[in-house]
Amino acid sequence: MTNRGGLLITGAALADGARGDLYLADGVLADPASAPAGVERLDADGLLALPGLVDLHTHLRQPGREDAETVSSGTAAAARGGFTCVHAMANTDPVTDTAEAAEYVADLGEREGHCEVRVVGAVTKGLEGEELAELGLMADSAAGVRVYSDDGRCVGDSLLMRRALTYVKAFDGVIAQHSQDTRLAGPSACCHESEWSGRLGLPGWPSQAESVIVARDVQLAELAGARVHVCHVSTAESVEVIRWAKRRGIQVTAEVTPHHLLLDTPLVAGYDTRFKVNPPLRTSEHLEAVREALADGTIDAVATDHAPHASQDKDHPFDVALPGMLGLEQALAVVVEVMVNTGRMDWPTLVERMSATPARIGRVSGQGRPLAVGEPANVVLVDPAARAVVDASASASRSRNNPYGGRDLPDPVVATFWRGRPTYRR
Ligand code: DOR
Ligand code: ZN
Protein backbone atom coordinates (compact mmCIF):
# COMPACT_ATOMS: atom_id res chain seq x y z
CA MET A 1 0.00 0.00 0.00
CA THR A 2 1.26 3.42 -0.83
CA ASN A 3 0.55 6.87 0.35
CA ARG A 4 0.47 8.60 -3.02
CA GLY A 5 -2.16 6.54 -4.75
CA GLY A 6 -4.26 6.46 -1.64
CA LEU A 7 -6.29 3.70 -0.06
CA LEU A 8 -10.04 3.28 -0.03
CA ILE A 9 -11.31 1.49 3.07
CA THR A 10 -14.82 0.25 2.34
CA GLY A 11 -17.66 -0.91 4.52
CA ALA A 12 -16.28 -0.07 7.96
CA ALA A 13 -18.61 1.12 10.67
CA LEU A 14 -17.68 4.20 12.68
CA ALA A 15 -17.86 4.24 16.49
CA ASP A 16 -21.39 5.67 16.43
CA GLY A 17 -22.57 2.84 14.19
CA ALA A 18 -22.79 4.84 10.96
CA ARG A 19 -21.16 3.19 7.98
CA GLY A 20 -18.87 5.05 5.69
CA ASP A 21 -15.99 4.56 3.32
CA LEU A 22 -12.69 6.21 4.21
CA TYR A 23 -10.33 7.46 1.54
CA LEU A 24 -6.79 7.93 2.82
CA ALA A 25 -4.83 10.14 0.45
CA ASP A 26 -1.67 12.17 1.09
CA GLY A 27 -1.94 11.72 4.82
CA VAL A 28 -5.47 13.03 5.19
CA LEU A 29 -9.00 11.73 4.87
CA ALA A 30 -10.31 12.77 1.47
CA ASP A 31 -13.77 12.54 -0.05
CA PRO A 32 -14.29 8.85 -1.00
CA ALA A 33 -16.14 10.02 -4.13
CA SER A 34 -12.87 11.55 -5.34
CA ALA A 35 -10.97 8.24 -5.23
CA PRO A 36 -9.76 7.32 -8.70
CA ALA A 37 -10.96 4.13 -10.34
CA GLY A 38 -8.49 1.35 -9.66
CA VAL A 39 -7.41 2.82 -6.33
CA GLU A 40 -6.19 0.24 -3.85
CA ARG A 41 -9.06 -1.00 -1.70
CA LEU A 42 -9.38 -2.61 1.69
CA ASP A 43 -12.62 -4.42 2.45
CA ALA A 44 -13.47 -3.58 6.05
CA ASP A 45 -16.91 -5.09 6.16
CA GLY A 46 -17.69 -6.08 9.75
CA LEU A 47 -14.89 -3.92 11.14
CA LEU A 48 -14.98 -0.69 13.10
CA ALA A 49 -12.87 2.31 12.04
CA LEU A 50 -11.75 4.46 14.96
CA PRO A 51 -9.43 7.46 15.24
CA GLY A 52 -5.87 6.34 16.06
CA LEU A 53 -5.34 5.85 19.78
CA VAL A 54 -3.25 8.30 21.80
CA ASP A 55 -1.18 7.21 24.81
CA LEU A 56 -0.30 9.78 27.45
CA HIS A 57 2.15 7.54 29.30
CA THR A 58 4.76 5.43 27.48
CA HIS A 59 8.27 4.48 28.56
CA LEU A 60 10.35 4.19 25.39
CA ARG A 61 13.67 3.82 27.31
CA GLN A 62 15.75 5.58 24.66
CA PRO A 63 18.24 7.04 25.36
CA GLY A 64 19.93 4.83 27.92
CA ARG A 65 18.18 1.48 28.04
CA GLU A 66 18.00 0.45 24.41
CA ASP A 67 18.30 -3.16 25.56
CA ALA A 68 14.80 -2.85 27.04
CA GLU A 69 13.14 -0.68 24.36
CA THR A 70 13.90 1.86 21.66
CA VAL A 71 11.84 4.55 20.02
CA SER A 72 11.56 2.23 17.04
CA SER A 73 10.54 -0.93 18.92
CA GLY A 74 8.24 0.87 21.36
CA THR A 75 6.39 2.73 18.64
CA ALA A 76 6.12 -0.51 16.63
CA ALA A 77 4.40 -2.00 19.68
CA ALA A 78 2.21 1.11 19.79
CA ALA A 79 1.20 0.64 16.14
CA ARG A 80 0.30 -3.00 16.86
CA GLY A 81 -1.89 -1.73 19.65
CA GLY A 82 -3.73 0.76 17.43
CA PHE A 83 -1.88 3.85 18.65
CA THR A 84 -0.86 6.69 16.33
CA CYS A 85 0.66 8.84 19.08
CA VAL A 86 2.53 8.18 22.29
CA HIS A 87 3.96 10.43 24.98
CA ALA A 88 7.53 9.41 25.78
CA MET A 89 8.20 9.58 29.52
CA ALA A 90 11.18 11.54 30.82
CA ASN A 91 12.83 8.91 33.06
CA THR A 92 15.42 7.98 30.46
CA ASP A 93 19.20 8.13 30.87
CA PRO A 94 19.99 10.97 30.56
CA VAL A 95 16.71 12.34 31.88
CA THR A 96 14.68 14.50 29.49
CA ASP A 97 15.11 17.67 31.53
CA THR A 98 16.57 20.11 29.00
CA ALA A 99 15.52 21.53 25.65
CA GLU A 100 18.38 19.62 23.97
CA ALA A 101 17.33 16.33 25.53
CA ALA A 102 13.70 16.92 24.53
CA GLU A 103 14.68 17.75 20.95
CA TYR A 104 16.85 14.65 20.80
CA VAL A 105 13.88 12.39 21.63
CA ALA A 106 11.53 14.32 19.34
CA ASP A 107 14.02 13.96 16.52
CA LEU A 108 14.38 10.21 17.14
CA GLY A 109 10.61 9.97 17.02
CA GLU A 110 10.40 11.83 13.75
CA ARG A 111 13.11 9.66 12.15
CA GLU A 112 12.39 6.24 13.61
CA GLY A 113 8.89 6.35 15.04
CA HIS A 114 6.04 4.17 13.81
CA CYS A 115 3.70 6.74 15.32
CA GLU A 116 3.88 10.33 16.50
CA VAL A 117 6.18 10.74 19.50
CA ARG A 118 5.36 13.61 21.83
CA VAL A 119 8.02 14.31 24.42
CA VAL A 120 7.26 14.50 28.14
CA GLY A 121 9.69 16.76 29.97
CA ALA A 122 10.87 16.17 33.53
CA VAL A 123 9.46 18.45 36.22
CA THR A 124 12.72 18.51 38.18
CA LYS A 125 16.36 18.27 37.15
CA GLY A 126 17.45 14.66 37.03
CA LEU A 127 14.07 13.69 38.56
CA GLU A 128 15.74 14.59 41.84
CA GLY A 129 12.79 16.56 43.18
CA GLU A 130 14.96 19.53 44.16
CA GLU A 131 15.19 22.07 41.35
CA LEU A 132 12.80 22.74 38.48
CA ALA A 133 13.96 21.47 35.08
CA GLU A 134 14.05 23.76 32.01
CA LEU A 135 10.25 23.80 31.76
CA GLY A 136 9.95 26.92 29.60
CA LEU A 137 12.88 26.11 27.32
CA MET A 138 11.45 22.64 26.68
CA ALA A 139 8.09 24.22 25.82
CA ASP A 140 9.75 26.67 23.41
CA SER A 141 12.01 24.01 21.87
CA ALA A 142 11.30 22.19 18.63
CA ALA A 143 9.85 19.40 20.80
CA GLY A 144 7.05 21.75 21.91
CA VAL A 145 6.69 20.04 25.27
CA ARG A 146 3.35 20.50 27.03
CA VAL A 147 3.30 17.54 29.43
CA TYR A 148 5.77 17.41 32.33
CA SER A 149 6.30 14.48 34.66
CA ASP A 150 8.87 13.00 37.02
CA ASP A 151 7.03 9.70 36.55
CA GLY A 152 8.61 6.83 38.38
CA ARG A 153 9.00 9.37 41.15
CA CYS A 154 6.58 11.72 42.86
CA VAL A 155 7.18 15.44 43.06
CA GLY A 156 7.03 15.34 46.84
CA ASP A 157 7.89 18.94 47.74
CA SER A 158 4.67 20.95 47.88
CA LEU A 159 6.36 24.28 47.17
CA LEU A 160 8.18 22.90 44.14
CA MET A 161 4.93 21.38 42.88
CA ARG A 162 3.18 24.72 43.30
CA ARG A 163 5.96 26.48 41.39
CA ALA A 164 5.88 23.92 38.59
CA LEU A 165 2.11 24.30 38.20
CA THR A 166 2.40 28.09 38.17
CA TYR A 167 5.25 28.00 35.66
CA VAL A 168 3.62 25.73 33.07
CA LYS A 169 0.33 27.59 33.23
CA ALA A 170 1.92 30.33 31.12
CA PHE A 171 2.12 28.03 28.10
CA ASP A 172 -0.88 25.82 28.86
CA GLY A 173 1.29 22.96 30.07
CA VAL A 174 0.21 20.26 32.49
CA ILE A 175 2.01 18.55 35.35
CA ALA A 176 1.41 14.79 35.22
CA GLN A 177 2.02 13.50 38.70
CA HIS A 178 3.08 10.03 39.82
CA SER A 179 1.22 10.20 43.11
CA GLN A 180 3.13 8.35 45.81
CA ASP A 181 3.81 9.64 49.29
CA THR A 182 7.23 8.08 49.77
CA ARG A 183 6.98 8.29 53.55
CA LEU A 184 3.91 6.04 53.45
CA ALA A 185 5.07 3.93 50.50
CA GLY A 186 8.84 3.97 50.17
CA PRO A 187 11.01 2.46 47.46
CA SER A 188 10.61 -1.08 48.81
CA ALA A 189 6.77 -0.98 48.90
CA CYS A 190 5.59 -3.40 46.23
CA CYS A 191 2.26 -4.94 47.23
CA HIS A 192 -1.10 -3.32 47.91
CA GLU A 193 -1.23 -3.00 51.71
CA SER A 194 -3.88 -5.53 52.66
CA GLU A 195 -4.18 -9.05 53.97
CA TRP A 196 -2.21 -10.01 50.86
CA SER A 197 0.91 -8.00 51.70
CA GLY A 198 0.86 -9.48 55.19
CA ARG A 199 0.36 -13.05 54.04
CA LEU A 200 2.97 -12.82 51.27
CA GLY A 201 5.49 -10.96 53.42
CA LEU A 202 5.82 -8.12 50.92
CA PRO A 203 6.23 -4.46 51.96
CA GLY A 204 2.82 -2.78 51.81
CA TRP A 205 1.82 0.19 49.59
CA PRO A 206 -1.35 1.62 51.19
CA SER A 207 -3.90 3.16 48.86
CA GLN A 208 -3.76 6.37 50.93
CA ALA A 209 -0.13 6.89 49.86
CA GLU A 210 -1.63 7.73 46.48
CA SER A 211 -4.75 9.64 47.49
CA VAL A 212 -3.04 12.00 49.96
CA ILE A 213 -0.85 13.28 47.13
CA VAL A 214 -3.83 13.58 44.78
CA ALA A 215 -5.65 15.57 47.48
CA ARG A 216 -2.70 17.90 47.90
CA ASP A 217 -2.13 18.34 44.17
CA VAL A 218 -5.70 19.24 43.25
CA GLN A 219 -5.60 21.95 45.90
CA LEU A 220 -2.28 23.22 44.57
CA ALA A 221 -3.77 23.23 41.05
CA GLU A 222 -6.64 25.32 42.39
CA LEU A 223 -4.22 27.69 44.08
CA ALA A 224 -2.13 28.06 40.92
CA GLY A 225 -5.11 28.10 38.56
CA ALA A 226 -3.24 25.50 36.56
CA ARG A 227 -3.76 22.03 35.10
CA VAL A 228 -2.75 18.90 36.95
CA HIS A 229 -3.00 15.37 35.56
CA VAL A 230 -3.04 12.31 37.82
CA CYS A 231 -1.08 9.41 36.37
CA HIS A 232 -2.20 5.78 36.82
CA VAL A 233 -5.03 6.24 39.33
CA SER A 234 -5.33 2.95 41.17
CA THR A 235 -7.51 3.49 44.22
CA ALA A 236 -11.09 4.22 45.22
CA GLU A 237 -9.90 7.03 47.51
CA SER A 238 -8.13 8.84 44.65
CA VAL A 239 -11.29 8.56 42.56
CA GLU A 240 -13.31 10.20 45.35
CA VAL A 241 -10.81 13.08 45.62
CA ILE A 242 -10.82 13.65 41.84
CA ARG A 243 -14.62 13.60 41.81
CA TRP A 244 -14.66 16.25 44.54
CA ALA A 245 -12.07 18.38 42.73
CA LYS A 246 -13.95 18.25 39.43
CA ARG A 247 -17.18 19.28 41.13
CA ARG A 248 -15.28 22.26 42.51
CA GLY A 249 -14.14 23.23 39.02
CA ILE A 250 -10.47 22.42 39.56
CA GLN A 251 -8.57 21.71 36.35
CA VAL A 252 -7.72 18.10 37.07
CA THR A 253 -7.59 15.21 34.63
CA ALA A 254 -6.75 11.60 35.36
CA GLU A 255 -5.74 8.39 33.66
CA VAL A 256 -6.08 4.71 34.51
CA THR A 257 -3.92 1.94 33.10
CA PRO A 258 -5.26 -1.22 31.47
CA HIS A 259 -3.60 -3.29 34.20
CA HIS A 260 -5.30 -1.41 37.03
CA LEU A 261 -8.61 -2.08 35.26
CA LEU A 262 -8.10 -5.83 34.86
CA LEU A 263 -5.44 -7.29 37.14
CA ASP A 264 -5.80 -7.65 40.90
CA THR A 265 -3.61 -8.13 43.97
CA PRO A 266 -4.00 -11.94 44.27
CA LEU A 267 -1.97 -12.28 41.05
CA VAL A 268 1.19 -11.42 42.97
CA ALA A 269 0.70 -14.49 45.19
CA GLY A 270 2.96 -16.49 42.87
CA TYR A 271 5.72 -13.87 43.21
CA ASP A 272 5.77 -13.62 39.41
CA THR A 273 7.58 -10.33 38.78
CA ARG A 274 5.55 -9.66 35.61
CA PHE A 275 2.88 -8.57 38.10
CA LYS A 276 5.13 -6.15 39.94
CA VAL A 277 4.16 -2.61 39.04
CA ASN A 278 4.06 0.79 40.66
CA PRO A 279 1.48 1.66 41.92
CA PRO A 280 0.76 -1.98 42.71
CA LEU A 281 -2.16 -4.08 41.51
CA ARG A 282 -5.11 -3.37 43.79
CA THR A 283 -8.00 -5.41 45.16
CA SER A 284 -11.38 -5.89 43.51
CA GLU A 285 -13.15 -3.00 45.25
CA HIS A 286 -10.53 -0.60 43.88
CA LEU A 287 -10.81 -2.15 40.41
CA GLU A 288 -14.55 -1.60 40.51
CA ALA A 289 -14.06 2.03 41.56
CA VAL A 290 -11.66 2.87 38.73
CA ARG A 291 -13.86 1.08 36.17
CA GLU A 292 -16.88 3.08 37.28
CA ALA A 293 -14.83 6.31 37.26
CA LEU A 294 -13.62 5.63 33.72
CA ALA A 295 -17.18 5.01 32.59
CA ASP A 296 -18.58 8.18 34.16
CA GLY A 297 -15.66 10.41 33.11
CA THR A 298 -14.18 11.06 36.56
CA ILE A 299 -11.17 9.34 35.04
CA ASP A 300 -10.69 11.03 31.68
CA ALA A 301 -8.41 8.67 29.82
CA VAL A 302 -6.79 5.28 29.57
CA ALA A 303 -2.99 5.47 29.49
CA THR A 304 -0.78 2.42 29.24
CA ASP A 305 2.25 3.11 31.46
CA HIS A 306 3.95 0.72 29.01
CA ALA A 307 7.09 -0.02 31.05
CA PRO A 308 9.42 -2.46 29.30
CA HIS A 309 12.17 -4.05 31.37
CA ALA A 310 14.99 -6.35 30.33
CA SER A 311 14.92 -9.83 31.84
CA GLN A 312 18.03 -9.10 33.92
CA ASP A 313 15.99 -6.45 35.73
CA LYS A 314 12.93 -8.67 36.20
CA ASP A 315 14.51 -12.05 37.02
CA HIS A 316 14.94 -11.32 40.69
CA PRO A 317 13.06 -11.91 43.94
CA PHE A 318 9.78 -9.99 43.83
CA ASP A 319 10.85 -7.25 46.25
CA VAL A 320 13.99 -6.34 44.26
CA ALA A 321 12.80 -6.75 40.63
CA LEU A 322 12.05 -3.49 38.81
CA PRO A 323 8.38 -2.48 38.68
CA GLY A 324 6.58 -2.13 35.37
CA MET A 325 4.73 -4.08 32.68
CA LEU A 326 4.13 -3.87 28.95
CA GLY A 327 0.86 -2.28 27.94
CA LEU A 328 0.69 -0.88 24.43
CA GLU A 329 -0.21 -4.03 22.51
CA GLN A 330 -3.04 -5.22 24.77
CA ALA A 331 -4.44 -1.87 25.96
CA LEU A 332 -7.40 -1.82 23.61
CA ALA A 333 -8.04 -5.53 24.20
CA VAL A 334 -8.25 -4.96 27.95
CA VAL A 335 -10.53 -1.94 27.67
CA VAL A 336 -12.83 -3.81 25.29
CA GLU A 337 -12.93 -6.79 27.66
CA VAL A 338 -13.45 -4.88 30.90
CA MET A 339 -15.51 -1.91 29.71
CA VAL A 340 -17.23 -2.60 26.37
CA ASN A 341 -17.98 -6.33 26.53
CA THR A 342 -19.48 -5.85 30.00
CA GLY A 343 -21.77 -3.04 28.84
CA ARG A 344 -20.04 -0.46 31.04
CA MET A 345 -18.97 1.70 28.11
CA ASP A 346 -19.94 2.18 24.47
CA TRP A 347 -17.58 2.64 21.54
CA PRO A 348 -17.95 6.43 21.22
CA THR A 349 -16.97 6.74 24.90
CA LEU A 350 -14.01 4.43 24.33
CA VAL A 351 -12.86 6.75 21.54
CA GLU A 352 -13.14 9.69 23.94
CA ARG A 353 -11.09 7.93 26.62
CA MET A 354 -8.38 6.47 24.37
CA SER A 355 -8.03 9.04 21.59
CA ALA A 356 -9.85 12.38 21.75
CA THR A 357 -9.35 13.19 25.43
CA PRO A 358 -5.70 12.12 25.77
CA ALA A 359 -4.91 14.20 22.67
CA ARG A 360 -6.63 17.16 24.29
CA ILE A 361 -4.84 16.71 27.61
CA GLY A 362 -1.48 16.57 25.81
CA ARG A 363 -2.46 19.49 23.55
CA VAL A 364 -1.66 17.37 20.51
CA SER A 365 -3.22 18.80 17.38
CA GLY A 366 -3.85 16.37 14.55
CA GLN A 367 -4.58 13.42 16.85
CA GLY A 368 -7.81 12.31 18.46
CA ARG A 369 -9.77 13.93 15.65
CA PRO A 370 -13.03 12.61 14.22
CA LEU A 371 -12.83 10.51 11.06
CA ALA A 372 -14.07 13.24 8.73
CA VAL A 373 -12.95 14.62 5.39
CA GLY A 374 -9.98 16.95 5.79
CA GLU A 375 -8.80 15.40 9.05
CA PRO A 376 -5.43 13.62 9.42
CA ALA A 377 -5.60 9.99 8.30
CA ASN A 378 -4.88 8.45 11.70
CA VAL A 379 -7.07 5.39 11.80
CA VAL A 380 -7.29 2.04 13.55
CA LEU A 381 -9.40 -0.78 12.10
CA VAL A 382 -10.91 -2.95 14.80
CA ASP A 383 -12.55 -6.35 14.78
CA PRO A 384 -14.81 -6.14 17.83
CA ALA A 385 -15.47 -9.89 17.94
CA ALA A 386 -12.01 -11.39 17.47
CA ARG A 387 -10.34 -13.11 20.41
CA ALA A 388 -7.00 -14.79 20.93
CA VAL A 389 -4.74 -16.13 23.64
CA VAL A 390 -1.99 -13.55 24.10
CA ASP A 391 1.37 -14.81 22.85
CA ALA A 392 3.91 -12.79 24.80
CA SER A 393 6.71 -13.88 22.48
CA ALA A 394 5.00 -12.27 19.48
CA SER A 395 5.55 -8.73 20.76
CA ALA A 396 7.19 -5.90 18.84
CA SER A 397 8.65 -4.70 22.14
CA ARG A 398 12.23 -5.56 22.99
CA SER A 399 11.05 -6.69 26.42
CA ARG A 400 8.92 -9.63 27.49
CA ASN A 401 7.36 -8.45 30.75
CA ASN A 402 3.84 -8.91 29.42
CA PRO A 403 1.36 -9.59 32.22
CA TYR A 404 -1.30 -10.78 29.75
CA GLY A 405 0.71 -13.66 28.22
CA GLY A 406 -1.43 -16.82 28.11
CA ARG A 407 -4.69 -14.96 28.71
CA ASP A 408 -7.69 -15.23 26.43
CA LEU A 409 -8.57 -11.65 25.47
CA PRO A 410 -10.15 -9.71 22.63
CA ASP A 411 -7.78 -9.34 19.68
CA PRO A 412 -9.20 -6.19 18.15
CA VAL A 413 -6.49 -4.46 16.15
CA VAL A 414 -6.60 -5.38 12.45
CA ALA A 415 -4.66 -2.45 10.98
CA THR A 416 -3.28 0.93 12.00
CA PHE A 417 -2.71 3.90 9.72
CA TRP A 418 -0.66 6.91 10.74
CA ARG A 419 -0.63 9.98 8.50
CA GLY A 420 -2.26 7.77 5.86
CA ARG A 421 0.42 5.09 5.89
CA PRO A 422 -0.03 1.57 7.28
CA THR A 423 2.04 1.09 10.41
CA TYR A 424 0.55 -2.29 11.23
CA ARG A 425 -1.41 -4.90 9.27
CA ARG A 426 -2.45 -8.19 10.78
O1 DOR B 1 5.76 0.39 37.36
C2 DOR B 1 6.25 1.44 36.98
N3 DOR B 1 7.25 1.46 36.09
N4 DOR B 1 5.80 2.58 37.49
C5 DOR B 1 6.40 3.76 37.24
O6 DOR B 1 5.97 4.76 37.74
C7 DOR B 1 7.61 3.81 36.39
C8 DOR B 1 7.68 2.67 35.49
C9 DOR B 1 9.03 2.51 34.87
O10 DOR B 1 9.63 3.47 34.40
O11 DOR B 1 9.49 1.34 34.77
ZN1 ZN C 1 4.34 6.24 37.39
Distance 228 CA to ligand 2 centre (A): 15
Which residues lie at CB < 5 A from ion ligand 2? 151, 178
152 lines ligand 1 (CB under 6 A): yes
How big is the CA angle at 119 (ends 87 and 96), to the nearest 5 degrees? Answer: 120
Q: Do 406 and 389 touch, CB atoms closer than 8 A?
A: yes
The whole-model pTM stands at 0.98
Total count of residues recorded for the chain = 426
Q: What's the pLDDT tens digit per position in 70-114?
A: 999 999 999 999 999 999 999 999 999 999 999 999 999 999 999
- CA of 307, closest atom in ligand 1: 11
Q: Which residues pair with 413 in a beta bridge?
A: 382
Distance 58 CA to ligand 2 centre (A): 10
Among 136, 132, 176, which residue's Cα sits nearest to residue 154? Answer: 176
The reported pLDDT for the residue numbered 20 is 87
The reported pLDDT for the residue numbered 73 is 98
* Alpha carbon distance 148, 57 (integer Å): 11
Residue nearest to atom 7 of ligand 1 (CA): 152
The reported pLDDT for the residue numbered 4 is 54
* Alpha carbon distance 233, 344 (integer Å): 18
* Alpha carbon distance 334, 344 (integer Å): 13
The reported pLDDT for the residue numbered 1 is 42
Catalytic residue check, 408:
no
* Alpha carbon distance 33, 20 (integer Å): 11
Alpha helices in 171-283 (DSSP H): 195-200, 208-224, 236-247, 258-262
Neighbours of 372 (CB within 10 A): 11
Residues of the chain with pLDDT under 70: 1-5
The reported pLDDT for the residue numbered 22 is 98
**Which helix (H) or strand (E) element contains residue 176?**
strand 174-177
